[in-house]
Amino acid sequence: MPDSLTAPPPTTEVPPAELPASLREAGLANWIREPLDDAVDRTRRVIVPPAAATMGTPLRECQGALMAEARRPDTIFMMGDNPALPPMPERPALKDFFQLRLSTIGANHMLQSARVARENGLDEKVVMACLLHDIAIAGLLSANHGHWGAQMVAPYVDEEVAWAIEKHEALRYFPDESVGYTYPHAYIEYFGPDYCPPDYIRREYEAARRHRWYMTSRLITINDIYSFDPGVVVDFSELEDLVGRNFRQPAEGLGFDGSPVAHMWRTMIWPNNFL
C-alpha cells in the first residue's frame, strides 16, 4: 500500500515541542473537527487541506489518512459552513470578507496602506488599489499573489486598479530612486541578502515600467513599505465611502453573481470544502 494511504495524520508525527502552540492547536491538530454540539449534528468533520498548501510539507502524505478518517462512523468531510468560522451573510460584500474572512494581519496591513495613501493625498484609484493589493495573501493564496488578487477584483474595480495590483508583485523587487523607492529591507530579512527574482518577474517589471499606468502600481509599493505597524488598527468604516465609489458590489453578493471570478470569493466563504 502506498505511504500516502497509510501515513498517520501529522499531529502524531510532529514532535509537539518543535511547534509553537498556535500551530499545534490551529494548524496541525485541527484538521479533524470534533463535533461541537447538537447544532452541528454531532458529526465529526474532516478538513482535507488543499494541495497547494501541502506540497513540500509532511502534510502532503497525510491525505490518505484523512480520507480514511472521514469514512469512520459519524464522520464526514467538511462541506458548507465550518462552525469554526463566523457565518457570512447571504449576499456578502467586500466589508464582510475583510471582517469575517481575511487574516487579521493581512486585512490590517491593507487598511493601513490605504489610510497612508489617502493621507498622502493620492488619487482614489491608488487608495483603492492599496486597500486590495494583498487580498490574495490575506484570503486565498500567497504565491503569485498580485495575479490572484487582480483577478479576484477585476470585475468590480477600474481596470487600472486591477492592473496596478497585478504588477505591484513584480515592482516590489525593483528600486525606483526617482520616487524614493528602494529594495525593501523586509525582503532582505524574508528571502536573504542574495535572493534574485526569477526572469519572469524581471520581464513583468520591465514591461510594467514602460506602461502608462506604471506609477499607479509603483505607488502601491511606496505605500506598502510604511504600513506594517501592528499597533495601529484601522476600521473598515474609515474606507467605506471610498469603497462605495470605487468597488462595484454585485447585488447578488460576492461569490454569487455568476462572474468569472465568483468561485474565488466562494472559496473564501467556504475555504474548507472537500470539493
**Span from 41-49, 50-58, 115-123, 218-226 in contact with Fe ion (CB under 5 A):** 218-226
| Piece of 26-34, 128-136, 209-217, 248-256 that binds Fe ion (CB under 5 A) | 128-136
> Is the Cβ of residue 7 or residue 220 nearer to Fe ion in the bound state?
220
> Do the Cβ atoms of 97 and 268 come closer than 8 Å?
yes
Q: How far is the CB of 211 from Fe ion (least distance, A)?
A: 18
Which of 96, 134, 158, 204: binder of Fe ion (CB under 5 A)? 134
The conformation of residue 77, written as its DSSP 8-state character, comes to E
Q: How many residues bind Fe ion (CB under 5 A)?
A: 2
> Of 2, 78, 11, 19, which is closest to residue 43 (Cα–Cα)?
78
Task: Rule CB under 5 A: say whether 204 interacts with Fe ion.
Answer: no
User: Distance between CA atoms of 227 and 229, rounded to whole angstroms?
Assistant: 6
DSSP 64: H
Q: Which residues ranging from 10 to 49 are in contact with Fe ion (CB under 5 A)? A: none
Task: Work out how close the CB of 172 gets to Fe ion at its nearest, in angstroms, rounded to a whole number.
Answer: 6
> What is the smallest separation between the CB atom of 196 and Fe ion, expressed in angstroms?
18
- Residue 188 half-sphere exposure, CB side, CA atoms within 13 Å? 5
Q: How far is the CB of 224 from Fe ion (least distance, A)?
A: 4
Among 61, 158, 204, 224, binds Fe ion (CB under 5 A): 224
Q: Looking at beta carbons only, is 220 or 254 nearer to Fe ion?
A: 220
Binding segment toward Fe ion, per CB under 5 A, in 120-128, 178-186, 220-228, 242-250: 220-228
Q: How far apart are the C-alpha atoms of 249 and 230, rounded to whole Å?
A: 29
Tell the smallest beta-carbon distance from residue 133 to Fe ion (Å): 5
**Which amino acid is present at 186?**
A
Q: Which residues pair with 32 in a beta bridge?
A: 46
Q: Which of 64, 26, 22, 67 is nearest to 46 (CA)?
A: 67
- Using the minimum distance from each CB to Fe ion, give the nearer residue, 88 or 135: 135
In the complex, minimum distance from the CB of residue 130 to Fe ion, in angstroms, rounded to a whole number: 8
Closest CA to 216 of 125, 155, 148: 125
Strands 32-33 and 75-77, sheet pairing: unpaired
The secondary structure of residue 80, as a DSSP letter, is S
Question: Which chain residues interact with Fe ion by CB under 5 A?
Answer: 134, 224
